[in-house]
Amino acid sequence: MKLNIEDLSFGYRSHVVGENVSFTLAAGEVLCLLGPNGVGKTTLFKTILGLIAPIGGSILADGATIAHWSRQHFARLFGYVPQAQLGFFPFTVQEVVLMGRTARIGLFASPSSIDVKIAEQLLGLLGIEHLANRSYTEVSGGERQLALIARALAQEPQVLVMDEPTASLDFGNQVRVLSEIKKLSGRGIAVILSTHDPDQAFLCAQRVAILHRGRLAYAGAPQEVITPVVLRAVYGVEVEIAKMEISGGEQHFVCLPSFTRSRPPSSQP
């Protein structure tokens, strides 16, 4: 599925959070969205997912507008990994993952043994099968995050929208999630993720977009967008981008902050 965002304005009623946002996302592409805290990345995601009505512009899937899709139709094509919240009732981790099957089963149905198999496979894929019968309210924040990714994959989506999927994960789980994202894109799933770490964009994304002051200020390939000039403009910090050769002769970029010359972002002209 090809996703087309054209001249989108989004926000809450009279309060416009962002405008003139346009980009496309093809099957198997990974788009990494960067931007300072509070710039509206989550609001943009919720607008794409139809949870908030767009103020203007259009969202097209394979050229057709998605404005009138049913919730079920949405959920079969778009998987959503929200920022992990504490659950309210003590459902088990497996039950939470099974909730991802909701759009695939009948209105009055409960998940079948096939759905349970799918959930078990996904728990295994994310390395949390040992948590299956633990209460979702009692596992750690990182484990909840992994469960939410498994839940979104249980939707069998074509587009996966991930809101800071690595935010509360330890280093090992961050790497696991990033490599999972690469694998998903290899299977033709389009992924949009937000992150605060430019290095993650170098690691897993074909394209990077930066939301800054309500607009998609920069968009393109990671090494074109993530430059010292851009990061200074957006975050108000000085960085150097180092190119390194890793084993196997591949080239790789990393972003190194330079502490002495960084300033707070508010003093930007």
Q: How far is the CB of 10 from other proteins (least distance, A)?
A: 15
Q: Is 54 in the site for other proteins (CB under 8 A)?
A: no
The nearest distance, CB 113 to other proteins, in angstroms, is 14
Amino acid at position 82, single letter: P
> Which residue stretches of 93-188 are H helix?
93-98, 113-125, 141-154, 171-186
Helix residue ranges, H only, the chain: 41-48, 71-77, 93-98, 113-125, 141-154, 171-186, 198-204, 222-225, 228-235
196 belongs to the binding site for other proteins (CB under 8 A): no
**Of the candidate residues 63, 88, 113, 269, the single one contacting other proteins (CB under 8 A):** 88
CA-closest candidate to residue 261, choices 235, 222, 225, 224:
235
Task: Decide whether 82 or 222 has the Cβ nearer to other proteins.
Answer: 82
Q: CB of residue 99 vs other proteins: minimum separation in angstroms? A: 5
| Residue 236 backbone zone (phi > 0: left; psi -120 to 50: alpha; other: beta) | left
Q: Applying CB under 8 A, does 229 fall inside the site for other proteins?
A: no
Q: Which is nearer to other proteins, 86 or 244 (CB)?
A: 86
12-41 footprint of other proteins as x/- string (CB under 8 A): -x----------------------------
Q: Which is nearer to other proteins, 9 or 137 (CB)?
A: 137
Question: 191: phi > 0 → left, psi -120 to 50 → alpha, else beta; which?
Answer: beta
Q: Out of 22, 110, 258, 268, which residue is the one contacting other proteins (CB under 8 A)?
A: 110
What is the C-alpha separation between 30 and 17, in angstroms, rounded? 24
Q: Which residues pair with 25 in a beta bridge?
A: 3
* Interaction between residue 168 and other proteins (CB under 8 A): no
CB 86, min distance to other proteins, A: 6
Angle at 47 between CA 105 and CA 183, to 5 degrees: 60
Choose the stretch contacting other proteins; rule: CB under 8 A; options: 2-10, 21-29, 73-81, 209-217: 73-81
Tell me the residue type at 264. P
Q: Which of 7, 22, 51, 172 binds other proteins (CB under 8 A)?
A: 51
CA neighbor of 12 nearest in space, from 46, 35, 60, 36:
46
Shortest Cβ 140–other proteins spacing (Å):
15
Contact residues toward other proteins (CB under 8 A) are 13, 46, 49-51, 70-72, 74-76, 78, 80, 82, 85-92, 95, 99-100, 102-103, 105, 107-111, 135, 137-138, 151, 155
